[in-house]
A and B are shown apart, each in its own frame.
Chain A
């Protein structure tokens, strides 16, 4: 299985796909071409910077990280709201297992000129082993007042109540974990990567 990180970029109607590793990328979407990115990370350093300069520009960044063995992953996403009425949304989910170490830094910066902007970020991570570590720094740097900005970050294990419920219906522990992990990542993955992710989950339950 190719475990290079994958980046899918959708600008307006155009989709580009890249296999990337240790990359630093900058985007500056126009209001007429909202930016949508999907990032799949298995290891290494990834930095994404999005500058929302034009009034009305928007972006949606989704990232999924699946880190195992003794891999290290640094995911750095910075959204700078520089123009008025710009909107951003970051949805990051991850699973860390074995002896992996993940560091997620997600910054929303809102400039004094970016009034009426909206920044949202949500990060959720599952730790599947005692030797794995996830460090998350969701940061907000706000210099304008007429804005809406929020973020949330949650890290923890698989929900025990949900596991128990599945087991009480006769489902094996391994299958139950698989079901829960798949539901955790669902809704985020473009269909072409479904099999890669399912395989990864299968290998780690």
Chain B
């Protein structure tokens, strides 16, 4: 493969295109983690006592825990005391219109391609809840959605305006006892999205959220809570970008989704956090706990394209509690240079006739390590439960690695689990064939990799699919053999 290797070596690398800093005075809490910092955060946000109590309970639990190291991940130990846990741009008490928002901030959003300007027409429009570092700045289409009874706002606002809803569901799917990073997030989360879709309502547009980490060493601990009441449905998009950094940045988020009887939620992610440079320096550490609980006849679908982050630790999961509920997981995870990913999903079948499908496509290039870790559990009471999984890995170059570690537990005689996995590389035959049609090696690899991921890409909302395809192309460049 020496001829191919030389050509791969000659690939031009593409600069991470979202690398920039915003020069705004940020109001920051002092570094470190302690009960005082938590009280500071809670106070800054004017939180009610019950929420402060929630945070403190989580913090007290957190300090008894050890960072988990069972993943196939190697990284420098994180000094949790050496981070800022609260960063907010200086502002008055909430802008009443976009004119009041700091123009620097708006420029930032323009660069990121976020449409903050409201438009009259509703058709084909995406509502955006833009988060700048730790505090939500502006929300669009709140009013339009409000007419349907849909609540789409920041968690901070939800705590203020809909405290009963937040109190009822916060921590109900991912309790602070769940894992180390969940405890951390529950203690110091600063903001995130809150979505509530009332009974029988279909959300007319895709809801979406953008994030950025700005100040040095500030962790991003965002928290999303989505509640789809009976017979409702919503499609939510999550896409992230981050500026270039020298130090690693910690991202420990929690996403909780509650899908009530006969409701359906589709959660799509295109993740493009800064992955570190070609020598493996810098990059975001992404430790995320995402989980949804499905009640009777409910459906939760996770679709993700992960191309960024230096470290990814993330297992979007479905608890299929209600009978006939359905869980889906479609994922493409691409790692290049020195990125490391240990990601997958958990499908827990509790109810009868529940079904789940897992399609995972991993692509490793450079010196990266890409592991799929999954859990499928059919519990004793889950009569006629069925799971089908297909996990494929593609290796580009001989310095990277791919791993598949599925744990399949069947405790019911009528339950069926079918799992298939394969690992290989783009065959020289395929590359040569594409080249005999005039495609350069780079194009051939890109095309074949996209073909490899097609099954997953087709599940993404259209605009995401386009962005995702581009992202894969960008992140594949510079894949050294």
A189 → B minimal CB distance (Å): 24
Which residues of chain A are within 8 angstroms of B399 by Cβ–Cβ distance? 112
Instruction: List A residues 147-204 near B (Cβ within 8 Å).
Output: 147-157
CB <8 Å contact, B393 and A115: no
CB <8 Å contact, A135 and B425: no
CB <8 Å contact, A127 and B397: no
Which residues of chain B are within 8 angstroms of A153 by Cβ–Cβ distance? 406, 408, 417-419
Chain B residue total in the interface (Cβ 8 A): 34
Q: Contacts A135-B408, A137-B406, A150-B423: A142 and B417 contacting too (C-beta < 8 A)?
A: no
Instruction: Give Cα A152 to B390, complex, Å.
Output: 9
CB <8 Å contact, A140 and B404: yes
B393 → A minimal CB distance (Å): 7
B260 → A minimal CB distance (Å): 29
Which residues of chain A are within 8 angstroms of B403 by Cβ–Cβ distance? 139-142
CB <8 Å contact, A155 and B406: no
B216 → A minimal CB distance (Å): 36
Instruction: Give Cα A132 to B380, complex, Å.
Output: 9
Instruction: Give Cα A134 to B377, complex, Å.
Output: 10
Which of B397, B401, B415, B423 contacts A156 (CB under 8 A)?
A: B415
The answer to whether the Cβ of A48 comes within 8 Å of any Cβ in the partner chain is no
Instruction: List B residues 193-242 near A (Cβ within 8 Å).
Output: none
The answer to whether the Cβ of A13 comes within 8 Å of any Cβ in the partner chain is no
Instruction: List A residues 123-142 near B (Cβ within 8 Å).
Output: 125, 127-142
Instruction: List B residues 404-450 near A (Cβ within 8 Å).
Output: 404-425
CB <8 Å contact, A156 and B398: no
The answer to whether the Cβ of B151 comes within 8 Å of any Cβ in the partner chain is no
CB <8 Å contact, B419 and A154: yes
Interface size class of A (residues with CB under 8 A): 20 to 34
Instruction: Give Cα A194 to B30, complex, Å.
Output: 73
Q: Contacts A142-B423, A145-B395, A150-B422: A134 and B410 contacting too (C-beta < 8 A)?
A: yes
The answer to whether the Cβ of A144 comes within 8 Å of any Cβ in the partner chain is yes
Q: Contacts A115-B398, A149-B422, A154-B418: A142 and B393 contacting too (C-beta < 8 A)?
A: yes
Which residues of chain B are within 8 angstroms of A22 by Cβ–Cβ distance? none
The answer to whether the Cβ of B462 comes within 8 Å of any Cβ in the partner chain is no
CB <8 Å contact, A155 and B417: yes
Q: Contacts A127-B412, A146-B1: A135 and B420 contacting too (C-beta < 8 A)?
A: no
Which residues of chain A are within 8 angstroms of B380 by Cβ–Cβ distance? 130-131
Q: From A140, A143, A154, A157, name the one whose CB has the most chain B CB atoms within 10 angstroms.
A: A140
Residue in chain B with minimal CB distance to A120: B422
Q: Contacts A140-B402, A142-B393, A147-B424: A133 and B417 contacting too (C-beta < 8 A)?
A: no
Residue in chain B with minimal CB distance to A153: B419
CB <8 Å contact, A154 and B417: yes
A78 → B minimal CB distance (Å): 13
CB <8 Å contact, A125 and B410: yes
B438 → A minimal CB distance (Å): 25
Contact with A along B89-119 (1 / 0, CB 8 A): 0000000000000000000000000000000
The answer to whether the Cβ of B319 comes within 8 Å of any Cβ in the partner chain is no
Residue in chain A with minimal CB distance to B400: A145
A126 → B minimal CB distance (Å): 9
| 26 A–B contacts from the bound complex (CB under 8 Å) | A112-B399, A127-B415, A132-B411, A136-B407, A136-B409, A138-B419, A139-B404, A139-B405, A140-B403, A140-B404, A141-B403, A142-B393, A142-B401, A145-B396, A145-B397, A145-B398, A149-B422, A151-B420, A152-B418, A153-B417, A154-B416, A154-B418, A155-B417, A156-B410, A157-B413, A157-B414
